[in-house]
Structure 1
C-alpha cells in the first residue's frame, strides 16, 4: 500500500492543487513508477469534472512528473479504467455524493482491490481522504443527496476529520468542531477520530502510518472518555493501525 491522505487541496501560497504535499507526491511517483493516473472527480459539485482533471494534470506537470491524468467519468467502463491505471487520485468536494456514486457504480470493491491487493498508489484530499475511513461519518459535508451511504473504502481502521479547525467563531453559538467530534464519540465509543488541519497529510506505506505537515500544525487525536492528544510530524502514530472499529 502507498496511500497519501491530504486534509485539503490548497493552502495559501500554493498555486497548484496538492502543492503543499509536492515532495511526498514526487517521492510516491518515483517510488511506485506510476505514470497513468485516473482521477475520481465525483465529489466535485461547483465546477466541471473535466476542469478538475486539468487542474490535477497541471500539478503533475509543474512538478516535472511524466504522468498522464484521465478522468474516471470519461471512461466507458470505469472498472476497466481502474484496473488499467497505475495510480488513483480522488478529488475533494462533497463526500456524500462521492461515496454514494462509488457504491452506485460498483467501484468500492475494485478500488480496494487495486490499492490493497495490487499496490496501486492512492492520493486523496478532503472528500478523497474521508472515504479512506471505514465510514464517512466524520465528514464536514452536508448530505445534499437522498439515499446517502455511510460505509466507505475502509483503507484505514480509524475515522479522519479533514480540514480540522480548532476554533470557536465569534458570534457563532453552534457546536464547535471539537464538540461535534465529541458527540460522535459519545455514540461511537470505540472509534477514534484523527483531526488533520489544513496543509497536513497522513501517509500509509506498506502498513506503516506517518503524519506530515507543511506548516507545523499538529494532528489531534480524539478518543472516547479521554482528553484529545496532539501529535507532531515524525511522532509515532502506528498504534492507530492496530485499532479495530
Structure 2
C-alpha cells in the first residue's frame, strides 16, 4: 500500500513539476507541441521505459501509474472545457509580438523569444523581412501567425496599382456564450452596442452565440451554438 501511495505522490509531483517546466521554457521550446502534449510524451515515455528496463517495477505498478496519469490528463481536459478561466492558465494564450509593424519587446521577453527565433518563425511563413508584417501572433504551440501589411500581401496592392488600405486585426468579443469585456474595452466598444448588433442579426442574448468576431468597418461575424433553423436531421 505504501508503494502505491509513494507512486501516487511521485506522479502528482511529476505532473506539476513538468507543467511548470513547460511554462518556464517558453512556447518556442515546445515548438509544434502544446504544453500538455509535451508533458504527456515525456511521462508516457518514462513509464514505458520503466516497464521495459526496470526489473523492480512490476506490471501492476506501471499500470497504476499509467491509469493515474491518464485520469489526470482527462480531468485537465474536462476542466479547460467546463471552466473557461482555466484555459489561459492551463493551455496558455496567444501573444502579439508585432503590433502595427512594431516589435513588442516585453511580450518577446516574457515568451523567451529573441529576434533570431522570430525571424526563423517568420521565414516559415514566407516572410523574409519584419517590415512586411503588420501583426504577428505567437500561438500557444510556438508557431507564429502573420498578417502582412496591405502593400505586401499577395497579390500586392502595388502590383495592382490600388491604393493601400489600413489593416485591422480581428477581435473576439464573445466566446462560448460569454462576453469578453476586456476585448470590448480595448476596441472602445460598449456592451449596449454589442447587444444591439446581436439583436440586428436575430439573437436575444449573448448566451445564444458561440463565437463573435469584430473587424472594424465590417459587420459583426456571429456563430450560434446550434443551427436554429433545423432542430433535427431532415
TM range (shorter): under 0.3
TM-score norm. by structure 1 comes to 0.25
